[in-house]
Amino acid sequence: MSFLLLLVITPAFGQLLSDKTGLVNRLDVKTGGYAFEVETVANFDIQDFEFDEEQKRLTLYVSSSLENNLGEVYLPQTLLSGNFTFYINGEEYFPTIKLNDNISFITLNFTGSGNNKIEIIGTGYLQGVNQTSIEDQPPTENKSQDKTGGCLIATATFGSELAPQVQLLREIRDNSLLQTASGTSFMNSFNGFYYSFSPTVADWERENPVFKETVKIMITPMISSLSILNYVDMDSEASVLGYGISLILLNIGMYFVAPVIAIMGIRKNSKFF
């Protein structure tokens, strides 16, 4: 399966970008008897966070070794909602925000290396939560070390976390791969590599429309092939391996075998002219 995901990289981007590592954090916010998970994927690290329920404010204390910072915050609307106000180091900031029924997708793009403070303030708090408090819930596995995160390259390519192609990738990851031990092992290994370059590639896509369209052309066949997984049952280790190998062979055919055959055919026909 890793081969499929490596197809989104051109040779120039195949090297590890150690100075622009993408970091995934899952912040466990407990307030009002409820537990919420705020996920961040960024090229800066979350050192600490605070939540003030009276001010309806989530504060992130971040550290970055880069001057140009790029990140995404996935904020449950049951925690904070309404009209948002943002501050970075005390100055008001206006990020890009996308919404679905449950999550606010916030894209941060700001300058400044070292320590920075990001404040997210909402007008709604605990809107639409169910009546089960954290004390009543059964114990769950701590996800703070879970390394699954956002599809940064696909999001930049198709323009939104809510794009059908991005949702497809997230559904395959969450509903298929992460439901088996082999799939989970693959994702844990893959994410360590993927987030080492994806924030940089996503940033380049936003800055260069031609590069963005090139990436779109490259990854669209792969995403189309992955949609097959929506129509099969992947409820066992054998099925994950079987379908994974089949998709690898399919993509080898699309990306390598078919072009080689086409080139050979063109060269052969050119000899007759």
Mean pLDDT of 9-16: 32
Tell me whether residue 134 is in a domain.
no
Looking up tokens 């994806």 gives 198
Instruction: Give Dmax over CA atoms of the chain in angstroms.
Output: 80
In a domain, 33, yes or no: yes
Total domains in the chain come to 2
DSSP 138: P
142 is a domain residue: no
What is the spatial distance between Cα 266 and Cα 2, in angstroms, rounded to a whole number? 32
8 Å CB contact between 230 and 259: no
Clarify whether residues 74 and 161 are in a common domain: no
More confident residue, 106 or 241: 106
In-domain check, residue 136: no
Residue 151 included in any domain: yes
Q: What does the pLDDT read at residue 259?
A: 81
DSSP structural state of residue 127: T
Check: CB of residue 89 under 8 Å from CB of residue 140. Answer: no
Is residue 152 one of the residues assigned to a domain?
yes
Residue 140 domain flag: no
Residue with tokens 């290396």: 113
Angle, CA 39 vertex, CA 4 and CA 69 arms, to 5°: 80
Q: What is the rounded distance in angstroms from the CA atom of residue 244 to the CA atom of residue 240?
A: 6
- Identify residue 144 by its one-letter amino acid code: S
Task: Evaluate if residue 56 carries a pLDDT over 90.
Answer: yes
Rounded average pLDDT over 249-265: 82
Q: Mean pLDDT across the stretch 146-160? A: 70
Grade residue 130 by pLDDT with cuts at 50, 70 and 90.
Answer: low
The reply to whether 162 falls in a domain is: yes
Q: What pLDDT was estimated at residue 273?
A: 55
**What pLDDT does 8 receive?**
36
What's the Rg (C-alpha) of the chain?
A: 21
60 and 164 within one domain: no
Question: Per residue in 164-183, pLDDT tens?
Answer: 888 888 778 777 777 777 77
Say which residue the tokens 């001010």 belong to: 55
pTM of the model: 0.51
Q: Which pLDDT score is estimated for 194?
A: 77
Say whether both 152 and 260 belong to one domain: yes
Rounded Cα distance between 195 and 43, Å, is 8
Q: Which residue has the higher pLDDT, 153 or 176?
A: 153
pLDDT at 147: 40
Range of the domain at 89: 18-125
Check pLDDT > 70 for residue 271: no
Same domain, yes or no: 166 and 183: yes
CATH, residue 51: 2.60.40
